Amino acid sequence: MPRRTALIWLFIAMAISAAWGYGIEAKDAEGLVDFRAIYFGARVVFDHHNPYKPSEFLQVYRAEGGKVPPEPGRNRLFLRSVPSCVNLPTTLFLVAPLAMLPWGAASAVWLILIGASFGLAAFLAWDLAREHAPRVSLFLICILLANSEVLFTLGNTAGIAVSLAVVAVWCFFRERMIWAGTLCLAVSLALKPHDSGLVWLYLLVMGGALRKRALYTAMVTALLAVSAVLWISHVAPSWDRDLRTNLAATSARGDISDPGPDSISRAGSADIIIDLQTVVSIFRDEPEVYNPAVWGMCGGLLILLVVKTMRSRPTRENAWYALAVVAPLTMLITYHRPYDAKLLLIAIPACALLWAEGRLIGRIALLLTSLAILLTSDIPLGLLSFITGTLKLSEMSLGARLLSMIVVRPAPLILLAMSIFYLWVCFARSGLDVAARKVAPCEEGEIAHA
């Protein structure tokens, strides 16, 4: 398939999300809620106040003309999303240059950055998969792109953090602009470490030159982190304690980041939580129960992947299968929302590779990957959430909860199934011969080109 044709389809899919998402945001006086929290958080620091103190945040926010929704329901969500700042100092530090601009200009630049980086990441993901199954991979990526309206409505940093992680993977595996890949992954880790952290860990475990790149990335990230902490500590010495307080408050039962069935962010919204805690909490809504259960399950899968990676011969095929485990597993371990699941872009090369074999395993890979993308996509998830949002899970019997789990919590279940499937592929394949294609051995841990 010609690159020009792929670019046209990718542009159309991206345009659907950008136009629709921006149309929703433009009608909302308090739009781009997630970006507001970062932008005004940095402005609060400029004003020598503590961005992690809601009272000080609101003082600066209102003084600069920021609007608070008057409706009680929206007001509660807004106060939990914006003044209760839960962004890391590194996030505020990286967005600080934009915070020097007026809100209108800063928000416009931010949306352009999200669109440009996300579009580039989508094209590079297709470039990695096109040699195996160009049409199938293009179809999957277009579905993902066309269902990303929330990114342009909320302006969440995931749009940039996930995109930069995908760009870094392309740079490292294509052996091009290594310095750019290192910087991209470092910025991604600084913005949202829980999005790209496992990608970095996998590169570290791979060994050889990839390990060196992971270590260089860690050095750049550490430099950003130290600079950010020094910057924020100058005006808010107690920022770490205040940040933990905000995180605890927003994660309390029934609050906006609560994975339990009574969370206020669950009903009728595509912007729901998709980690595995949302499934376990249906049966036992206690963090002391669902967190260890999920960490134990996901940690076991991660350990198996690490052991297999360290014992396997490093090839591109093995890398694609492993990254197809890493992407969904990242979403399951801890707090994530559908916009974070755009990291599934790095799983598409593995799906394309298996599909190219023309066997049952390829059809299963396509089915699971397609369902994972669909069930973490904004439009299908929004419709499903709207239909099931009024269900009172906490009032159902155990049998009813089991029956409704597939409908009410489909995203984490399919992500778990996808992780297990690709982990099985990692163990089932030697990586030395795939579909009768010879793969050259790697030198010093590098991924060899087929």
* Token code pair at residue 446: 């590098």
Q: If you average pLDDT over residues 413-430, what whole number do you get?
A: 91
Residue type, 67: K
Q: What is the pLDDT of residue 378?
A: 86
Q: For the chain, percent helix, then strand, then coil, each to nearest 5?
A: 70, 0, 25
CA proximity to 276, closest of 421, 409, 422, 370: 409
pLDDT tens for 289-322 read 999 999 999 999 999 999 998 887 778 888 999 9
* pTM, entire model: 0.90
pLDDT at 430 over 60: no
Q: What is the pLDDT of residue 168?
A: 96
**What is the number of residues in the chain?**
450
Between the two ends of the chain, the Cα-to-Cα distance in Å is: 19
Q: Are 446 and 325 in contact (CB under 8 A)?
A: no
Q: What is the pLDDT of residue 28?
A: 66
Domain boundaries, the chain: 3-438
In whole angstroms, how far apart are CA 213 and each of 172, 216, 327, 344? 8, 5, 20, 22
pLDDT at 152 over 80: yes
Residue type, 21: G
Q: Are 440 and 204 in contact (CB under 8 A)?
A: no
Dihedral over Cα of 353, 356, 361, 367: its sign: positive
Q: What is the pLDDT of residue 341?
A: 94
pLDDT at 7 over 60: yes
**The 3-state secondary structure of 14-70, one letter per residue:** HHHHHHHHHHHHHCCCCCCHHHHHHHHHHHHHHCCCCCCCHHHHHHHHHHCCCCCCC
pLDDT tens for 395-417 read 677 777 777 777 778 899 999 99
pLDDT tens for 160-193 read 999 999 999 999 999 999 999 999 999 999 999 9
- How far, in Å, CA of 79 to CA of 91, rounded? 19
Average pLDDT, the chain: 86
Q: Are 412 and 279 in contact (CB under 8 A)?
A: yes
pLDDT at 422 over 60: yes
pLDDT tens for 342-398 read 999 999 999 999 999 888 999 999 999 999 999 999 888 878 777 766 667 666 777
Q: What is the pLDDT of residue 83?
A: 72
